[in-house]
Structure 1
Amino acid sequence: MTKLRVVSVCVIRSQKFSSSKKIQLTPWDLQLLTVDPIQKGLFFRKPNPEQPKELAKSSSEIINRLKVSLSDTLNHFPLLAGRLIASKNSDGTSSFFVDCNNEGAEFNYVTAPDLTVDDILEQTYVPKIVKYFFPLNGVCNYEGVSKPLLAVQVTELVDGFFIGCTINHCVADGTSFWHFFNCWSEIARSGDSNLIVNKPPVLDRWFPEFVASPIHVPLSNEHVHDEFDLPLLEERVFHFSKENIAQLKAKANSEYGNDQKICISSLQAVLAHIWQSVIRCRCGTNANEKFSFKLLIGARTRLQPHLPEGYFGNAVHFVNVTTTAREMLEHDSGWAAMQINKVVSTQTHEEVMNFYQNWVKNPKIVKKSEVVANSLIASSSPRFDVYGNDFGWGRPVGVRSGAGNKHDGKMTIFCGAEEGSIDIEACLTPETLHAMGQDTKFMGDLSVKIEIA
């Protein structure tokens, strides 16, 4: 069995810390207090010694470059070097803000001396050891009052590196997570500490006029001690090529989209294809049993006017697409895609504002135990720039997520390595995943060959 060896643990701080900025949290941020941080990471091949000198770096040079560039990046993202501050209110509620006090981010350097990159990427199921490539396992977001809001672990394999990043979900959503990651890799590659890739982060949170901050949150022991049993789970990455996706989208639109002047998107077609297979393959499914597909809806471009480019924080909320097993199995995936499309299309500026206003009146903290029953949850996006993260020795060759927020039905969406492709990291019971591998409709419909990423 592979054993990981901890080489070093240190704290990385911004070298340009000046004053302690305080950032109040919004409903989008506060709803995630009791769930897990975001955990995503990338595999890289080691530089070939025969490459040009500027690329042929030793392990120690790479680790040092990552540390220095992380410090430089924190100059632009000071909240990631800060901590959450919780204050008690006279009405028994709590309020939270981020103190950009430069207490620092955690940086771990670990080695896996007998493990190669292909030992991970070429397996049908994601090896269990991958979850140990991430720091801060088992830490909930509200613990950011004493734990780092950002922690990085660099795991050196025989022929590569895995850079795993854990970011407190109260301070960043997926868009912000990859914004930070993109900036870090750009600064590391260029050696320019003043460089900001694409856009500078906008750190101040957005509050509409009708909301007074700080927001009062009734955080109870019921939320903090939200315990529940999880079944044995496995993970498998399904790769949809550009051609696969085009076929699924065309079929869905020919059956349900075009006649109603509605365009089912590529992602909606892919998610519907997976949703149907999961329901077909789950053992003991009652035909009248209700199933929901929970989707994280981004608000940045739905608000009018849009949130500023580079807005750093959360700007997402859940919507539910609900149906019964019978309805799903009596229709094809185009129908399922249409159900997703209908719900997503309702998410206008007015709906986003309604969510925001209603949450302030009646704060609802997400409980993990409430989202795991008979539901799939899709998170992340194929639009994030995952494979553009070159730290100076080449592009990544694979992406994986950590153990945070995993349950039976969690679907993590990534862009594929090839342009126009999509990878879906499916977390399900072993029985369901095995049955999906044998599901001819899923694996072979329309002559679509779904590959293992």
Structure 2
Amino acid sequence: MAKKVELISSSLVSATATAASTSISRLELNPWDLRLLPIVPIQRGLIFHTSHFQSQQHLIQHLKNSLSRALDFFPPLAGRLAATPHDGDTASFFVDCNNAGAEFTHAVAAAVSVSDIVEPSYIPEIVSSLIPISVGVTNYEGISKPLLAVQVTELADGLFIGCAANHAVVDGTSFWHFLNSWSEISRGSELISRSPIFDRCNVAAVDNRLIHIPTLEKNLIAPCQLPQKVFHFSKEKLGQLKAKANSEAGTDKISTLQALMAHLWRSAVSSQTTNDSTTRVILIPIGARARMSSLPDAYFGNASYPAVLFISESDLLQRGLGAAALRINELISRQTDEAATRELAKKVEFHESDGSGAPPPLIMGSSPRHDVYGCDFGWGKPIGVRSGKMQKVEGLVIVFPAAETGGIDVEVCLAEETLHAMECMMR
């Protein structure tokens, strides 16, 4: 039987009427939000391995009802982007919390099993059909499209809950905050354990809000068609990488994640060597919530920025894991409250690729600290997570916690021959 996805129904789910009448009406976008307008939405999917639901139809209605109640606490996700025009083809943007609704789709993939998704090391094409794309190709399209879309797909022996969210409205931390809150309500809770904070007084730089509209009419970072491979690192393997990096660098301050980033970077570059003088680049996401004293942990919206490290190919490959990890550690150590504040204050600008033909940077995304496996909707925690194809660009590395405690899974998007070579180096 062909492995295909059959769409059963699709509808808009709004917050409950009572909550909608008392919720916030408008949410300003901060400069970190605005910089993501031309980029693609966040796409994630949770995989559940169980077929013990009392009634599939009851389950779908239950998830719709609990989603509606979750939106009570996250009204921006039921709204739409809005723009106020200004002179000179510019506009300022905000979220109109108008309760227009999030999209909810019910689908069936009767011939697709959980193992078809989680066992292949290369993410199968079917996954792209399990995560909705109705939030638009770019975040800018949120003016006319939902800011959140959910697709619940019945599998032969489980369930796949795919979510797409407008990245100009949420970052990874806010995205998983919402999913964990929705799962709490699905389990029967009337309230959520951690309420989002929508206050923008600490991050809304008014002089940065005017955006040049023509720049937003095309996607500046088009998704690529390269394969995506999943690499798994056990707690034991990660411990070995950390110990090796610290030993080589003569220090004890290199973290597990820093050692892993250095290992992935060196493996990718070694698998696609050009010449010793080539400059290699890694972009590392820096979370501002942990650095800015004025920014609460439950802040809703984007609160991160990329830190960039440049190393010559010869230094990266010849000086060892410890040297690369130490450079990463030093870069991250410089990201203080003051550094984050300076990044926030920068003018919002959009840049197309220069087409120079230089090797693509390694772009780190997501975090192993996100509570992926706390998303228990009432039938147990997920057994895996995958990201959507629309979000992939060459060189992107998406980091997730592994299902077992202490492990880390990474999805890497690079040329197939590079991935094959990296696989040999990872053994």
TM-score, shorter chain, exceeding 0.5? yes
Structure 2, unpaired ranges of 5+ = none
Per-residue Cα deviation, 1:248-302 (whole angstroms, up to 9, x for no partner):
11111112152xxx601100101111111101112x5222111111011110121
The 8 Å contact of residues 290 and 374 in structure 1, kept in 2 or not, is answered as: no
The 8 Å contact of residues 248 and 322 in structure 2, kept in 1 or not, is answered as: yes
Per-residue Cα deviation, 1:129-158 (whole angstroms, up to 9, x for no partner):
111111126521011000000000111110
The 8 Å contact of residues 89 and 213 in structure 2, kept in 1 or not, is answered as: no
Aligned to 1:2: 3
Structure 1 residues 226, 395: CA separation in 2 closer, same or farther (over 3 Å shift)?
closer
Structure 1 residues 369, 44: CA separation in 2 closer, same or farther (over 3 Å shift)?
farther
| 3-state SS of paired residue (1:387) | helix
| Alignment-mate amino acid for residue 382 of structure 1 | P
The within-5 A match list for 1:3-152 is 3-15=4-16, 16-18=19-21, 21-48=25-52, 56-136=53-133, 139-152=137-150
**Whole-angstrom distance in 1 between the partners of 2:54 and 2:414:** 39
Per-residue Cα deviation, 1:93-125 (whole angstroms, up to 9, x for no partner):
210000100000000111111110001111121
| Alignment-mate amino acid for residue 309 of structure 1 | D
TM-score (norm 2): 0.94
Deviation at 1:231, TM superposition (A): 5.9
**Whole-angstrom distance in 1 between the partners of 2:213 and 2:302:** 19
The 8 Å contact of residues 232 and 429 in structure 1, kept in 2 or not, is answered as: no
Structure 1 residues 408, 113: CA separation in 2 closer, same or farther (over 3 Å shift)?
same
The 8 Å contact of residues 257 and 338 in structure 1, kept in 2 or not, is answered as: no
Q: Percent identity?
A: 45
Structure 1 residues 36, 274: CA separation in 2 closer, same or farther (over 3 Å shift)?
same
Aligned to 1:51: none
Aligned to 1:278: 268
Deviation at 1:91, TM superposition (A): 4.0
Q: Tell me how large the CA RMSD over aligned residues is.
A: 2.0
The 8 Å contact of residues 96 and 214 in structure 1, kept in 2 or not, is answered as: no
| 3-state SS of paired residue (1:404) | helix
Deviation at 1:28, TM superposition (A): 0.8
**Whole-angstrom distance in 2 between the partners of 1:255 and 1:344:** 19
The within-5 A match list for 1:368-383 is 374-383=360-369
Deviation at 1:7, TM superposition (A): 0.3
Deviation at 1:394, TM superposition (A): 1.2
Aligned to 1:196: 192
| Alignment-mate amino acid for residue 42 of structure 1 | L
Structure 1 residues 14, 263: CA separation in 2 closer, same or farther (over 3 Å shift)?
same
Matched, 1:294 2:280: no
**Whole-angstrom distance in 2 between the partners of 1:413 and 1:42:** 15
**Whole-angstrom distance in 2 between the partners of 1:182 and 1:243:** 28
Alignment counterpart, residue 229 of structure 2, candidates 236, 240, 246: 236
Structure 1 residues 430, 206: CA separation in 2 closer, same or farther (over 3 Å shift)?
farther
| 3-state SS of paired residue (1:6) | strand
The 8 Å contact of residues 135 and 165 in structure 1, kept in 2 or not, is answered as: yes
Give the stretch that moved more between structures: 387-396 or 367-376: 367-376
Aligned to 1:154: 152
Matched, 1:364 2:367: no
Aligned to 1:52: none
| 3-state SS of paired residue (1:43) | strand
**Whole-angstrom distance in 1 between the partners of 2:203 and 2:59:** 44
Aligned to 1:339: 327
The 8 Å contact of residues 257 and 263 in structure 1, kept in 2 or not, is answered as: no
Structure 1, unpaired ranges of 5+ = 49-55, 444-453
The 8 Å contact of residues 109 and 153 in structure 2, kept in 1 or not, is answered as: yes
Deviation at 1:438, TM superposition (A): 2.1
**Whole-angstrom distance in 2 between the partners of 1:87 and 1:295:** 33
**Whole-angstrom distance in 1 between the partners of 2:275 and 2:413:** 21
**Whole-angstrom distance in 2 between the partners of 1:205 and 1:243:** 42
Aligned to 2:377: 391
The 8 Å contact of residues 14 and 102 in structure 1, kept in 2 or not, is answered as: yes
Alignment counterpart, residue 248 of structure 2, candidates 255, 260, 263: 255
| Alignment-mate amino acid for residue 149 of structure 2 | A
Structure 1 residues 135, 355: CA separation in 2 closer, same or farther (over 3 Å shift)?
same
